[in-house]
Structure 1
Amino acid sequence: MAIDAPAPPNATQKPLAPALSASTGVEATVAGETRVIFGGCNYLGLAHHPRVIEALREAAGIYGISTGASRTTTGNTLAHEQLEERLARFFSAARPGHTVACTIDGLTANMAAFEALAERRTEAVIDERAHRSLVVAARAAGLQVNLYRHLDVGHAVELAERDPAGTVIATDTVFASTGHIADLASLVRSAPNDVGFLFDECHGVGVIGDGGRGVAIALGVTDDRVVITSTLAKAIGAHGGFVLATSDCIRRIRSTATAFVGTTPVSPALAAAATEAIDIIDQEPDRVRRLQDRASRLTAGVALYADARVPAGFAWHTPIAAVAFAPDDAMTRVRMRLTERGLSVPLVSYPGGPAPSYFRLSVTSEHTAEQVDQAIACFAEEADDR
């Protein structure tokens, strides 16, 4: 039996966070106070890399800020085509022959992918804690959505077996709220041969696997049935989204998907910045290794009170941890400790976390080991006092 979809979040539940007046990626200034931030998704620090910023400036001088039109009319630029070619090369060793279509963000990447898949599929079986964009995109494409229990491969396969040829199994590879990692290899291995797959790698690309190629490739999942979607706004440090798939799937996206055909693309300046960022990932492999070191440190430091879930034997670490203490005054004490030490960790209420309200910690390659240890200590002290 499928799980009922959760109601859309109430618009009053998530007020805007205080506005930043400056940011370096590791530090941010709010209301005149500068603190070390353990939040967000600039995992490799590339949003502030001088080469990325210079690439953006140079392309803005050539193309302006916006194309003002769809890529199917007058809005296509060399910057967009070069980005798609660079992304295809980035994944080509593991997924030869697969090509890329870029979109304006991660949501529209999922929308474009589901629009293409809906030509042959009628149902989407989605992890109950997956990013809401997967459910929204599947429904927008006209697919019937059924949710499976979080990380439960058997339940996903059970639902897919009702109509394998008409079904797409979709999931996050790394779950944004908790850092849980889906066992993609078991999903693909266990599902009927004619099931399709859509894996959202927004928190996997640039983070997991050799050279940051993502969870699917790290787990050896390169099946042509698998469509990968991701963002350019997290580890890559720019803005936009993309779909990586067979040339036939990408052709359908470019021909018919409203999320591609009917939108003005991401700024060509940001496309050029993303291309430069991908070059840096390849040219500076220590960034991914350094991120993994900080992620490993975080995982070990909060292991007693964070619910980490990864496939058996998986060697990579997620830079995300979700921590909650009860009662509420314990959370207040942790926040006070963080503030006293010049640190900030977002207290969030995203769906899929361990409690209605919890700390979502994230580290980057640019945090020092000492900074990570300082944050861990604030949580350890609360645990020791209990």
Structure 2
Amino acid sequence: DLSRHPAVIEAAQRAIAEYGVSATASPRTSGHLAIHEQLERALAEFLGKGDVVLVAAGYLAPLAALTTLSADHDVVVVAPQSHAAIADAVVATGLPPRSMGECRPGTVTRPLLVTAGLDWSGQVAPLQDYWRRSQATGGRLVVDEAHATGILGPQGRGSVEWAGIEDPEVVLTGSLAKALGAAGGFVAGTDAFIRRLRGANRSYAAATALAPALAAAALAALRIVQREPERRARLHENATALRQRLRARGLSVTDEAGPSVVPARFDPELTRRIHESLRASGFLVSLIGSPYAPDGPRLRFVAKAGHTEADYDRLLSAMPR
């Protein structure tokens, strides 16, 4: 958990001493500080994009990206299981929505395709398919990497790297609050696109800039992600081990091979009993219900690089049979 890493905490403390608690202004006035520029440059280099802009919350990243792009497109195509931030951003574009199944030549033109690269349930989107659809219809692909940055891909760049897509026109949105353990969000794209976003988008310009301590913390965490790839390897190993242990106990678990999120379910009553028992034993496991789990409640386990076999032994011991 990088939010508790000593180097991340120290970076945040130094930033508070240097800049104060708040940026106190929007990025368009005096709120864009040196630490913001450092993080933006580091993220752009890490993600292989022309430029990056920071926003005050991960929720704002899809909103900033989609409303900047909306004038270039005729319809918006939304992948299933999209996060609420994507759903709200889609509404804000004012574009007529279409399903992914409708995204084909002769049916739609100039679509804005939007998807989470890795959704809340640990499923990786079929990005190669979505990208080909965007190319065939004169559209553009926007991928939200909130749950994938630092987790997926050979370098930890996210689901687009995982899928092997190398297209500078693909726009990325993301969060600094997941693997990086800070808070805030970002939009990554070409120089021209980010320049346009900075110049006109109110989600960026009308909000107080990201707190400098959070920017410093995210920058320190990003450097750890780059410097210590073994953390990501341990995370994937732990997710696989946790998945196997839960399946051995009779829970229905997804077969996704790499992500850290492990959703599991049994019959609804037992799922709720397991959740209550784990909470009482001090384990933080989320119970996901409708509308996000329409086929019945699920338990959302999250593996971490620092987990041990003993941790999973205690977890399983706390679960009622």
Same fold (TM over 0.5): yes
SS in structure 2 of the partner of residue 249 of structure 1: helix
Per the alignment, residue 94 of structure 2 pairs with 142
Fraction of identical pairs, as percent: 31
- Indicate the residue corresponding to 1:319 in structure 2: 260
Matched, 1:47 2:8: no
Structure 1 residues 167-246: aligned runs within 5 Å: 167-176=111-120, 178-191=121-134, 192=136, 194-246=138-190
Name the CA distance, whole Å, in 1 between partners of 2:280 and 2:16.
Answer: 41
2:212 aligns with: 268
Query: Would you say 1:164 and 2:109 are equivalent positions?
Result: yes
Pick closer, same or farther for the CA change 1:156–1:287 going to 2, 3 Å.
farther
TM normalised by structure 2 equals 0.91
1:359 equivalenced with 2:299 (yes/no): yes
SS of 2:148's partner is: coil
Q: 1:212 to 1:161 in 2, by over 3 A?
A: farther
SS in 1 for 2:168: coil
Give the superposition deviation at 1:113: 0.3
Compute the displacement of 1:217 (Å).
0.6
SS at match of 2:86: helix
Aligned to 2:59: 107
Is this contact kept in 1: 2:268–2:296, CA < 8 A?
no
Higher helix fraction: Structure 1 or Structure 2?
2
Show the counterpart of 1:116: 68
Secondary structure of residue in 1 paired with 2:180: coil
SS at match of 1:119: helix
299 and 339 in structure 1: CA distance in 2 versus 1, 3 angstrom threshold: same
Q: Distance in 2 between matches of 1:372 and 1:220?
A: 33
Tell whether the 8 Å contact from 2:52 to 2:189 is kept in structure 1 after alignment.
Answer: yes
State the match for 2:20 in structure 1.
64
Distance 2:2 2:316 in 1: 24
Alignment partner, residue 237 of structure 2: 293
Equivalent pair of 1:211/1:288 in contact (CA under 8 Å) = no
Task: Write the letter of the residue equivalent to 2:108.
Answer: D
Matched, 1:343 2:287: no
Aligned equivalents of 1:317 and 1:156: distance in 2?
30
Cα pair 1:228 1:245 within 8 Å, conserved: yes
The answer to whether the 8 A contact 1:229-1:241 is kept is: yes
Look up the match of 2:80: 128
CA contact (8 A) 1:121 1:168 kept: yes
Query: Does the 8 A contact of 1:138 with 1:144 survive in 2?
Result: no
Deviations 1:134-178 (A, max 9, x none): 110121122222344xxxxxx1534x752322x1111111111x1
TM-score (norm. length: structure 1): 0.77
Q: Which runs of 5+ in 2 are unaligned?
A: none
Deviation at 1:260, TM superposition (A): 0.7
Distance 1:371 1:345 in 2: 13
User: RMSD across aligned C-alpha pairs, in angstroms?
Assistant: 2.2
Deviation of 1:339 (Å): 5.2
CA 343–72 in structure 1, closer or farther in 2 if over 3 Å, else same:
closer
Structure 2 residue 257 is the aligned partner of structure 1 residue 308: no
| Partner SS, residue 228 of structure 1 | strand
2:268, 2:9 → 1: CA distance? 44
1:372 paired to 2:312: yes
Compared CA separation, residues 279 and 161, structure 1 to 2 (3 A)? farther
* In structure 1, distance between residues paired with 2:243 and 2:102: 28
Do the aligned partners of 2:58 and 2:185 also contact (CA within 8 Å) in 1? yes
Name the CA shift for 1:355/1:286 in 2 (closer, same or farther; >3 Å): same
Range 136-145 or range 77-86, more displaced: 136-145
2 CA distance for matches of 1:156 and 1:369? 46
1:331 to 268, 271, 296: 271
C-alpha displacement of 1:356? 4.3
- Give the distance between the partners of 1:237 and 1:131, measured in 2 at CA: 19
For the 8 Å contact 1:207–1:213, the answer to whether it is kept is yes
SS in 2 for 1:68: coil
- Contact 2:57 2:185 (C-alpha < 8 Å) held by counterparts: yes
1:143 is paired with a residue of what secondary structure?
Answer: coil
Paired AA for residue 157 in structure 1: C
SS in 1 for 2:38: helix
- Is contact 1:156–1:169 with CA below 8 Å preserved after alignment? no
CA contact (8 A) 1:322 1:359 kept: yes
Q: What is the aligned partner in structure 2 of residue 29 from structure 1? A: none
Letter in 2 for 1:293: E
SS at match of 1:169: strand
